[in-house]
């Protein structure tokens, strides 16, 4: 059988990254973090002084940055014009600007093209918001991973070393609202996706569950 494509979508902080990386490492697959690509584009636009709330200005610049994703699940990387932006794309400034940037159709068109190139012939776990619905609708396994808001905020705050869980929760709920209500490829549960609510499970249990879905297909 051909190399599998595994799509993992869901809202911010649902555990998509840890789950996707764990599944890829266990199965010897590559890993693509599409959120990092939207963040990289946003980081570059901010640095260029583009007003991220001006959709026309954003659309006019989408071909500017060269964005390169390293797909090793044990050490994924993201480069913009040769600069490693792995840390910079997690800043509060990028958090606040990434959802409006991601709502611009020209941004999505450019990044979806790069994502499909990276997917190639498969052998990859891809995480995002629209992977099962738009980027790879024929993925072999599609997972829609959620967790309740308190659990998601705690996870994100812990990752970021942030002391203010309330502020973290407000920021991720604000992003979810924009991501779910935008016209272009909103966050939805894709046709054929399996919904996993990870709230009550450990990371290893969720990884086991996804791995068993992949193995059941073979």
> Which is closer to ligand C5P, CB of 53 or CB of 215?
53
> Which is closer to ligand C5P, CB of 105 or CB of 122?
105
Q: Which residue has the tokens 């450019």?
A: 110
Q: Is 99 annotated as a binding residue?
A: no
**If binding is defined by CB under 6 A, does position 130 make contact with ligand C5P?**
yes
Structure tokens that stand for 95 in this block:
């958090």
CA distance 96 to 42: 10
CB of 3 to ligand C5P, least distance (A): 21
Instruction: Please give the span between the terminal C-alpha atoms of the chain, in angstroms, as a whole number.
Output: 8
Structure tokens that stand for 107 in this block:
């941004």
Vertex 155: Cα angle to 149 and 156 (nearest 5)? 90
> Which is closer to ligand C5P, CB of 54 or CB of 215?
54
Number of helices and strands in the chain (H, E): 8, 8
**If binding is defined by CB under 6 A, does position 38 make contact with ligand C5P?**
yes
Q: Is 65 annotated as a binding residue?
A: no
> Which is closer to ligand C5P, CB of 34 or CB of 71?
34
CB of 26 to ligand C5P, least distance (A): 21
The count of other CB atoms within 10 Å of the CB of residue 141 is: 22
Which part of the chain contacts ligand C5P (CB under 6 A), choosing from 79-87, 123-131, 145-153, 195-203?
A: 123-131
CA distance 113 to 87: 24
Binding site for ligand C5P (CB under 6 A): 12, 34-35, 38-39, 98-99, 102, 128-130, 175, 179
Binding site: residue ranges?
10-18
């Amino acid at each position: 059988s051909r190399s599998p494509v595994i799509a993992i979508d869901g809202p911010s902080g649902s555990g998509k990254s840890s789950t996707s990386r764990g599944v890829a490492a266990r199965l010897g697959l590559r890993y693509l973090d599409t959120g990092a690509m939207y963040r990289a584009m946003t980081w570059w636009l901010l640095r260029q002084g583009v007003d991220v709330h001006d959709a026309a200005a954003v659309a006019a610049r989408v071909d500017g940055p060269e964005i390169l994703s390293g797909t090793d699940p044990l050490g994924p990387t993201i480069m913009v014009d040769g600069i490693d932006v792995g840390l910079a794309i997690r800043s509060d400034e990028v958090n606040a600007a990434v959802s409006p940037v991601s709502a611009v159709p020209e941004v999505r068109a450019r990044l979806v093209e790069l994502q499909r190139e990276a997917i190639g012939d498969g052998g990859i776990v891809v995480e995002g918001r629209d992977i099962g619905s738009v980027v790879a609708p024929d993925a072999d396994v599609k997972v829609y991973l959620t967790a309740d808001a308190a659990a998601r905020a705690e996870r994100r705050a812990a990752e970021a070393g942030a002391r203010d869980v309330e502020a973290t929760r407000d920021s991720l709920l604000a992003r979810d609202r924009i991501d779910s209500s935008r016209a272009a490829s909103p966050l939805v549960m894709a046709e054929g996706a399996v919904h996993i609510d990870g709230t009550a499970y450990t990371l290893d249990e969720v990884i086991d569950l996804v791995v068993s879905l992949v193995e059941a297909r073979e």
